[in-house]
Amino acid sequence: MASLTIRNLDEDIKQNLRERAAQNGHSMEEEMRLILASLDQASEALSPKRSVASVPSLSPFSSEVLEGKRILLIISGGIAAYKSLDLIRRLRERGAHVRPIMTEAAQEFITPLSVGALTADHVYTDFFSREDEQDVGHIRLARECDMIVVAPATANLMAKMAHGRADDLASTVLLATDKPVLIAPAMNPHMWHNKATQRNAKTLSADGIYFVGPESGEMAESGEAGKGRLSETFTIISKMLEILDDRPKPLLGRTAIVTSGPTHEPIDPVRYIANRSSGKQGHAIAAALAELGASVKLISGPVNIPDPVGVDVVKIECAEEMLDTALQLLPCDIAVMVAAVADWRVAGAAGEKIKKKKGQSVPTFDLVENPDILKTVGHNKKRPSLVVGFAAETQNLIDNATAKLNKKGADMIVANDVSPETGIMGGDRNRVRIVAHDGVDKWPDLSKEEVAMRLAKLVAQKLSELSV
């Protein structure tokens, strides 16, 4: 893979790589691997520690939007410039072609060699380059793309854009383009909140420039915190998708609630009753509904997976909280109840950790039945237009799902066999049956994301039929 990347590099970058490899006594491929490894280490060292669930995720269907898209990435100066390397990588993973421009200041933080290695393209740095400008290169750059992304965008570059200045390659291209422009600001919080920067941001927004971020958090400078951090890579890509996605949105204007994951029913402050649900299927369905245009509220039990981008997530612990939240969100157009809710809870959870005592018998607990969330929503006076339930069974799949369909007031039941040997509970694939009042539809083995999109399209079709 390294040799393929090297073959695609611009000749100037390849020559720099040859010289660097020779100085260090390495082959070009080994030198390339060391460069990429150092970038990963720098990213890990500079990034704040975050739990997996706090990092936003993208649907695999993002590749449908970005495949073949030409992205002009402008990297301006600032410590956050290193994050642009991950942005390049993630965009290329999704089939986008990335052409980079680096300002003079950006080259003080990361090298054109690194950027060129990841983009496999020429890195544009010099406004007065004879080679690049012999055919009015800055105009060509401004037009031969589907979108321009500025990440990071410094206060200085924002000021140039707001006042129409064109004194370097980046600002000239931005002034000459007729393509959508997305900027991701990154700077010290005091710089972001400065009145001049805020005036410039308002001017740019009024001019039709798209913004993503900045985010709040700790800065690279010791002891500095506040609003000014560059948005995470997937957050930037999510905004790009929002701007570029011209696919049909059959659920635009519709509202949906989705429940996902397990519930934790407390026994005492450290123990609980739960199940093995990962939340992967429910989160994927929420993302798929949002991709088709729906405004989605995801009610999630405790999971260790990322929140889907573009979805409003409400996090709960137990079944009663999940039910209360769902009822508060009614009325809506769609309810997809995917969560594996614990059937029982302890009648009276202990306020302190239950301790083992020598000679004392094992404690016993009185269990009470948890509320039936699907049934409550399915028979509610504010019932959604379309109610979809899930049946996770280990035996008599269709019979149990059909009984659930009739009892719970649902329009469809998505039934799956979660016997341990299937690997579905907690896995990445699913094999479902759609049980409806007019029959059973058997779907093939699919990824959970594919099940989600297929179900979202079915929901859109059913809603369309209801409105005819």
List pLDDT tens digits, range 370-394: 999 999 999 999 999 999 998 877 7
Domain boundary among 205, 223, 244: 244
The answer as to whether 337 is a domain residue is yes
Catalytic residue among 8, 16, 275, 400: 275
Q: What element of type H or E holds 321?
A: helix 319-328
Same-domain status, 419 and 439: yes
Question: What percentage of the chain reaches a pLDDT higher than 90?
Answer: 35
Please tell me the predicted confidence (pLDDT) of residue 157: 93
The answer to whether residue 10 scores a pLDDT higher than 60 is yes
| pLDDT of amino acid 129 | 57
Higher model confidence: residue 259 or residue 358?
A: 259
- Residues 298, 371 within the same domain: yes
Question: Is 90 exceeded by the pLDDT of residue 268?
Answer: no
Token pair 């290193």: residue: 82
Domain that holds residue 219: 47-244
Tell whether the model's pLDDT for residue 54 goes beyond 50. Answer: no
Give the pLDDT score at 60: 56
Q: Is residue 65 part of a domain?
A: yes
Query: Same structural domain for residues 124 and 186?
Result: yes
pLDDT score at 362: 81
**Shared domain check, 205 and 63:** yes
Residue at which a domain ends, from 223, 244, 265: 244
Closest Cα to residue 2, out of 113, 117, 110, 121?
Answer: 117
| Annotated catalytic residue 275 | yes
CA distance 296 to 314: 11
pLDDT in tens, 108-164: 888 888 888 888 888 888 766 555 555 545 677 888 888 999 989 999 999 999 999
360 belongs to a structural domain: no
145 lies in the same domain as 232 = yes
State the average pLDDT for the chain: 83
Q: Are 235 and 372 in the same domain?
A: no
Q: What are phi and psi of 464, to 5 degrees?
A: -65, -40
Task: Kindly state whether residue 250 falls inside one of the protein's structural domains.
Answer: no
Last residue of a domain, one of 244, 279, 297: 244
Residue 247 amino acid letter: R
Same domain, 229 and 113: yes
- Nearest by Cα to 231 from 60, 66, 42, 90: 90
DSSP 8-state class, residue 24: H
Q: How many domains does the chain have?
A: 3
CATH at 282: 3.40.50.10300
Domain shared by 58 and 179, yes or no:
yes
Nearest residue to 105 (alpha-carbon basis) of 153, 71, 176: 153
pLDDT band at residue 222 under the 50/70/90 scheme:
low
In a 10 Å sphere around its CB, with 0-12 CB exposed, 13-18 middle and 19+ buried, how is residue 207 labelled?
exposed
Alpha helical stretches, state H, 218-279: 233-244
As a whole number, mean pLDDT of residues 246-263 equals: 91
pTM of this structure: 0.68
Compute φ and ψ for 440, nearest 5 degrees.
Answer: -120, 130
Task: Say yes or no: 222 and 118 in one domain.
Answer: yes
**In whole angstroms, what is the distance from residue 251 CA to residue 290 CA?**
8
Q: Please report which residue ranges of 26-168 form alpha helices under DSSP H.
A: 28-46, 62-66, 83-93, 112-119, 130-133, 137-143, 155-162
pLDDT of residue 257: 97
Say yes or no: 273 and 390 in one domain.
Answer: yes
Assess if residue 190 is contained within a domain.
yes
Q: What is the mean pLDDT of the segment spanning 416-427? A: 68
Please indicate, yes or no, if residue 361 is contained in any of the structural domains. Answer: no
Are 111 and 153 in a shared domain?
yes
